[in-house]
Amino acid sequence: MGTITPTHYLVLSAALLLIGTAGVLLRRNVVVVLMSIELILNAVNLNLVAFGNMAGQLNGQIFAIFVITVAVAEAAVGLGILIALFRNKETVQVDEIDLLKW
Amino acid sequence: MPIDPLFFWAFAALTLGGALLTITLRSAVHCAIALIASLAGVAGLYLLQKAEFLFAVQIVLYIGGIMVLFLFVIMLVNLDAAARERQFHKRWWAGLAATLATGALLIYYLAKGASGLRAAPMPAQPAGNTEQLSDLLFSEYLLPFELVSLLLLVAIVGSVIMAKKRIV
């Protein structure tokens, strides 16, 4: 097993970011796309905390708190938009939402 | 043998397994439950990195707050028809190519820079994690803290306007 170095955390967070990216780019369901964005933001937070610990200071954790706050605002507004969208278009599939396409 | 690596691998497996299930499962409710497992794994990793305050915030805010919000929306929006259709759109290969390119970039830079990464010895903590964080947050980071409160106000008003049926 060995000892756990900061590199372990960086690789883990890179893997989490890739899974989140795949979810955003591949899925059709808007709710799952929003969940994948939360995965990406969590990967970033993990990275920030790991780098902060590596430098031996707490600023990374402060940044993670700010990222979490912005993530909450993003989720609230995103889900509000989703409800408005469902009321008008009756669909949650990203490839059927093409009002701006010509 | 120290017990820490064991917990790291357990939480890492929980995080990645939950994330993979989140983007592959068919029903949105199952996705939400898998996402809860993934977020709990990340919370455990915060605890391993001695970020106790972030651990509590992750549990209360993410698992308690955001996930309830998601489940409410899943109830409000009818997803039965969506669960029966295709889950991946027609141009999935373009998305997969973009993901793989990002992955190649990340692997390249991690392989290049990982040898230079050394953990600095953590200085002896004179106080608890929460106390130190609040000291930093309310002195050096006071202006961003206040700005974030403004952002939250805008988000509250915005989400209410968005979800309202008719704006009088």
* A65 domain residue, yes or no: yes
- Interface contact A12, partner B, CB < 8 A: yes
For range A40-58, the mean pLDDT: 91
Q: What b/e sequence results for A67-98 when a residue is b if at least 16 CB atoms lie within 10 Å of its CB, and e otherwise? A: ebbebbbbbbbbbbbbbbbbeeeebbbeeeee
Counting the structural domains of chain A, the total is 1
Residues 6+ apart with CB under 8 A from B121: A56
ipTM of the complex: 0.91
Question: What's the domain range around A18?
Answer: 6-94
pLDDT digits (tens, 9 = 90+) for B65-94: 999 999 988 888 877 777 777 878 888 899
* A74 domain residue, yes or no: yes
Which of B31, B71, B73, B80 to probe by mutation at the A interface, max A CB count within 10 Å? B73
Cross-chain residue pair A79–B69, CB shorter than 8 Å: yes
- What is the CATH number for A78? 1.10.287.3510
User: Which chain B residues are closer than 8 Å to A31 by Cβ?
Assistant: 28, 31, 70, 73-74, 77, 79
Minimal Cβ distance to B8: which of A8, A58, A62: A8
* A102 domain residue, yes or no: no
pLDDT digits (tens, 9 = 90+) for B115-165: 777 766 666 667 788 888 999 999 999 999 999 999 999 999 998 888 887
- Dist. CA B29–CA A43, nearest whole Å: 22
* A35 domain residue, yes or no: yes
pLDDT of residue B97: 94
pTM summary value: 0.90
Is the CB of residue B41 less than 8 Å from the CB of residue A12? no
* A47 domain residue, yes or no: yes
What's B114's DSSP letter? G
